[in-house]
A and B are shown apart, each in its own frame.
Chain A
Amino acid sequence: MRQMSRSDPAPSRLTYRLERLMLTPVFRLALRVGVPFALAFGAAGLWFSVPENREAFHGMLADIRISIENRPEFQVRLMAIDGASVHVAEDIREILPLDFPVSSFDLDLDAMQETVVGLDPVRTARLRIRQGGVLQIDVTERVPAVLWRHAEGLELLDEAGVLVGPADSRSDHSALPVIAGEGAEQAVPEALALMAVSGPLLPRLRGFERMGARRWDVVLDRDQRILLPETGAAEALERVIAMDQAVDMLARDLVAVDLRLPRRPTVRMTDNATQEMWRIKQIEAGGEQR
């Protein structure tokens, strides 16, 4: 009877169900992936649910960040400014309040570039942190093209009419033309175009005056003026120069050459010249001699 009384190998219902459960693919996947994930997230969540732990964690993060930022590799010790004149460089150093050494993480290069470009004489500026802890600022300055005389004084404008800076005296910038008048600073390109064509007049040129914010007058010495039209001012000036070269017009006793109506150039003479002309005409007509 030994074999018959052998213990029954049948699994209990619980074992059977457990084994069937373990053979279910979804359950096995959940066990292999889901449980470790749940445990890890649960433990982390539990730890983070305590405020002290959370603060300690954030403090640790901040400490790490600070320690990295303060490493000597990230320190900026110098500021190098290229392409700027001494005054402009001083201005830049003044408006960028940096006390070196400073970490490169604390530098907001975009804002600093805006600040630098905000300076009048600066056209463009490129900021970068060079190797060796140098804040490199490459500046392109505005080139003054005209002198602008107005009620407050004398100022320099570049070729687009943007303010470059104050000018101390006319003689410092003798090569630049002077513009004046209402709305002159808004028409600097036109003035420069006139300047370009007024080659033979240059020795006599005093400046350009904007009349009524719409047209230019060319002011020469001996109080002579050339009144140019609103449109086609440069061509009109060329015509005046051509007339001057043909009959030496401007050397005569004129007050103004009026080309506001370009088809009908008008010359205004001085009183003296007018009297003289009348006298000559009478002589030619055989009138009484005085």
Chain B
Amino acid sequence: MIELYESQRAMRNMRRAAMQRGVVAILDVGSSKIACLVLRFDGTDPSDDGIGSLAGQSGFRVIGAATTRSRGVRFGEIVSMSETERAIRTAVQAAQKMAGIRVDHVIACFSGAGPRSYGLAGKVDVAGMTVDEQDVARVLSACDAPDFGHGREVLHAQPVNFALDHRSGLIDPRGQIGNELSCDMHMLTVDAQAIQNLAYCVKRCDLELAGIASSAYASGISALVEDEQELGAACIDMGGGATGVSIFIKKHMIYADAVRMGGDHVTSDISMGLQVPMATAERIKTFYGGVVATGMDDREMIETGGETGDWEHDRRTVSRAELIGILRPRVEEILEEVRARLDAAGFDHLPSQQIVLTGGASQIPGLDGLASKILGQQVRLGRPLRVHGLPQAATGAGFASAVGLCLFAAHPQDEWWDFEIPLDRYPARSFKRAVQWFRDNW
């Protein structure tokens, strides 16, 4: 499996280089907008002694932020390379200009590409008295990877839990005495094509890809508060073209999925239903949208406007209740789909049933009421965590995954490729292997 993680390891090295330089860009490639944040790391690493000040986010500062309308991205996947490249270029250039510094490394996230979660388990006998790094490496490589199919690539592979002789729930088993070490791992695969496209677009912008993440994961990091991550919660990131679902427990993501529907579909419903252009539909949605109709809404008339030259056509009005009537079924459909995904993941077996809605499309008024009917009682609207220097314009729910990616860039969780490589997978002439051979035979 080493070949599989070479690129991931390379990206980690790139991230380390970016940390040394102190500047890294965050790129959230979404279906409706592309956000770019420029982070400066001031060298203080609060991870030394537990959790540092400001919940461990004091190590960096946002010095540049820019958003641009997304082009060429649908359902969270890149469909037009040149368009997307231009959009990324716009965002990166504006953010660089604001930061006043050139960025060379970028950490990107995207929502689509059909993410699929796998739970992996591995078991191995401890070689010595106590568990050391090599045992951890061996137990990780002992996890039997499922056949996730051709053309898919592992995006995340995080060990969620270690168990040592029936003692489960260990975070760090190193140094403990035991005989049998087992681990549970969460693996997320996506279409390799999507990653390759994104990497190509980033490369065409003269940038180096220093990391890649699923936006469902990133928005979960930023929108869920700490005890929600600890006790178990689901984060639903309602984006433009895709809705990401991620379930966290014990501060680890254990499931992620995406529904290929989002705010853009609502807009296109309005556009079709009211016979207005997409831009007008978007404006009507953001100004007058809602999901719960009241008697007042029947009397509130909305002018659709238009510039066709047909006076009758341009002077049409529509009541807000009608708009809600168009909007609500689609939102319900999205939430139903999310419910189905959560049920499939076994979310109702979790001790805590907290659900957090975030993302740009979660800003529809009354959505929490509707969601609580479909998803369960414990629903709240989430906004991303506040990080240093984030402009006011980028603190909305739509920036949850961008902010989450900042936290991911500052303190990435350990993934499979961050651990040591087991000795028997080293090249045959390695020095470490020679040492191991001596130790085994004498």
Do A and B assemble together? yes
Would you call B279 an interface residue if the criterion is a C-beta within 8 Å of the partner chain's C-beta atoms? Answer: yes
Q: What residue in chain A is nearest B307 (Cβ atoms)?
A: A2
Would you call B86 an interface residue if the criterion is a C-beta within 8 Å of the partner chain's C-beta atoms? Answer: yes
Q: What residue in chain B is nearest A1 (Cβ atoms)?
A: B277
> Is B96 touching A20 in the complex (CB atoms < 8 A)?
yes
Q: What residue in chain B is nearest A22 (Cβ atoms)?
A: B102
> Is A3 touching B279 in the complex (CB atoms < 8 A)?
yes
> Is A19 touching B96 in the complex (CB atoms < 8 A)?
yes
Tell me how far the C-beta of A161 lies from the nearest C-beta in chain B, rounded to whole angstroms.
82
Tell me how far the C-beta of A243 lies from the nearest C-beta in chain B, rounded to whole angstroms.
104
> Is A16 touching B89 in the complex (CB atoms < 8 A)?
yes
- A19-B93 contact in complex given A2-B307, A4-B279, A24-B102, C-beta closer than 8 Å: yes
- A8-B102 contact in complex given A20-B206, A23-B96, C-beta closer than 8 Å: no
> Is A8 touching B206 in the complex (CB atoms < 8 A)?
no
Q: What residue in chain A is nearest B204 (Cβ atoms)?
A: A13
> Is B279 touching A17 in the complex (CB atoms < 8 A)?
no
Tell me how far the C-beta of A248 lies from the nearest C-beta in chain B, rounded to whole angstroms.
110
Docked complex Cα distance between A10 and B93 (Å):
9
Docked complex Cα distance between A124 and B2 (Å):
94
Contact with A along B49-75 (1 / 0, CB 8 A): 000000000000000000010010000
Chain B residues with Cβ under 8 A from A4's Cβ?
277-279
Tell me how far the C-beta of A13 lies from the nearest C-beta in chain B, rounded to whole angstroms.
7
Docked complex Cα distance between A23 and B86 (Å):
19
* Interface-central residue, B96, B102, B279, by most chain A CB under 10 Å: B102
Would you call B97 an interface residue if the criterion is a C-beta within 8 Å of the partner chain's C-beta atoms? Answer: yes
Q: What residue in chain B is nearest A19 (Cβ atoms)?
A: B93
> Is A17 touching B206 in the complex (CB atoms < 8 A)?
yes
Q: What residue in chain A is nearest B99 (Cβ atoms)?
A: A23
> Is A10 touching B87 in the complex (CB atoms < 8 A)?
yes
Docked complex Cα distance between A20 and B95 (Å):
11
Docked complex Cα distance between A15 and B92 (Å):
12
Tell me how far the C-beta of B106 lies from the nearest C-beta in chain A, rounded to whole angstroms.
12
Q: Is the interface of A mostly helix, strand, loop or mixed?
A: loop
> Is A19 touching B97 in the complex (CB atoms < 8 A)?
yes
Chain B residues with Cβ under 8 A from A8's Cβ?
71, 86
Q: What residue in chain A is nearest B90 (Cβ atoms)?
A: A10
Docked complex Cα distance between A10 and B68 (Å):
9
> Is A11 touching B279 in the complex (CB atoms < 8 A)?
no
Contact with B along A1-38 (1 / 0, CB 8 A): 11110001111010111011001110000000000000
Would you call B101 an interface residue if the criterion is a C-beta within 8 Å of the partner chain's C-beta atoms? Answer: yes
Tell me how far the C-beta of A85 lies from the nearest C-beta in chain B, rounded to whole angstroms.
84
Contact with B along A224-237 (1 / 0, CB 8 A): 00000000000000
Chain B residues with Cβ under 8 A from A2's Cβ?
279, 307
Would you call B391 an interface residue if the criterion is a C-beta within 8 Å of the partner chain's C-beta atoms? Answer: no
Would you call B100 an interface residue if the criterion is a C-beta within 8 Å of the partner chain's C-beta atoms? Answer: yes
Tell me how far the C-beta of A286 lies from the nearest C-beta in chain B, rounded to whole angstroms.
133
Tell me how far the C-beta of B268 lies from the nearest C-beta in chain A, rounded to whole angstroms.
13
Docked complex Cα distance between A4 and B307 (Å):
13
Q: What are the 6 tightest A-B residue pairs by CB atom distance, in nearest-first order?
A: A10-B86, A23-B102, A3-B279, A10-B90, A16-B89, A24-B102
A/B interface sample: 25 pairs, CB < 8 A: A2-B279, A4-B278, A8-B86, A9-B68, A9-B90, A10-B68, A10-B71, A10-B90, A11-B89, A11-B90, A11-B93, A13-B89, A16-B89, A16-B206, A19-B97, A20-B96, A20-B102, A20-B206, A23-B96, A23-B97, A23-B100, A23-B101, A23-B102, A24-B102, A25-B101
